[in-house]
Structure 1
Amino acid sequence: MAIKYEWRGDFDNASLDALHADGFGSPVTQTGWRARLERHSLGWVCAWEAGSLIGFVNVAWDGGAHAFILDTVVAGPHRSRGVGASLVAAAAKEARSAKCEWLHVDFEEHLRSFYFDACGFRETSAGLIAL
């Protein structure tokens, strides 16, 4: 079955909650995703297969030159099929169309190969404060 990628896709909160729980190994919550994304994001990309939400990435931004990839997630049965890399590629395309000059990402060490090799990010120096 073909996978459809949709910029600012029309998802429901329950579907995104379930996908996050599956992808990040956390309990299902009742997050108001739509309101959060509308307030803080340039956009997001949804991946759909047979009408089901199987992947998602959020593109936050500073309102100018910088966009940020957050919460890249693919449902377990669909991993290692290029869905995540396609989500990020679609996010990069849309951020470029919005005149962003930089796309940032931070990630856990086990995702290094995904972001550098599959998605084309390059290593930079960055800082982080745990709050």
Structure 2
Amino acid sequence: MTITYEWRGDFDNASLNALHAEGFGHPVAGTDWRAQLERHSLGWVCAREDGGLIGFVNVVWDGGAHAFLLDTVVAGHGRGRGVGVALVAKGAEEARAARCEWLHVDFEAHLRPFYFDACGFEETAAGLIAL
């Protein structure tokens, strides 16, 4: 099966809500992703297989030099096939094309090998305040 990756790809809210719920282990929400992405994102990458949404990453930005990855998610049946790495690579390519100079990501500790080893991120000092 061929997997395709599309910058600012079309999707419906129901499909993205279902994928997000599966990937992050929460009930399916009613988020209006289209409105949220159009308002806050530089862009996003959709991964599709046989017409179905199997992966997604949101690339938000500050309007200048910094882009940030959010909501990187791959359907269970797509994991271990390089889908996540390809999503991140396409997001980085498009952020670079938009003249961003930095791509940031934060993640849970168990995802460290994915982001550092597979995707090529480097460790930096950062801070966080839980609100």
Q: Indicate the residue corresponding to 1:103 in structure 2.
A: 103
Q: Indicate the residue corresponding to 1:45 in structure 2.
A: 45
Q: Indicate the residue corresponding to 1:115 in structure 2.
A: 115
Unaligned runs of 5+ in 1: none
Distance in 2 between residues matched to 1:30 and 1:93, nearest whole Å: 30
- List per-residue Cα deviations over 1:20-77 (Å, max 9, x = no partner): 0110010001100000000000000000000000000000000000000000000001
Distance in 1 between residues matched to 2:10 and 2:77, nearest whole Å: 22
Q: Indicate the residue corresponding to 2:8 in structure 1.
A: 8
**Alpha carbon RMSD of aligned pairs, Å?**
0.3
What's the offset of the Cα at 1:94?
A: 0.1
Q: How does 1:1-131 map to 2 (within 5 A)?
A: 1-131=1-131
Aligned AA (2:96) = R
Distance in 1 between residues matched to 2:60 and 2:95, nearest whole Å: 10
Give secondary structure in 2 for the equivalent of 1:22. helix
Give secondary structure in 2 for the equivalent of 1:112. helix
TM-score (norm 1): 1.00
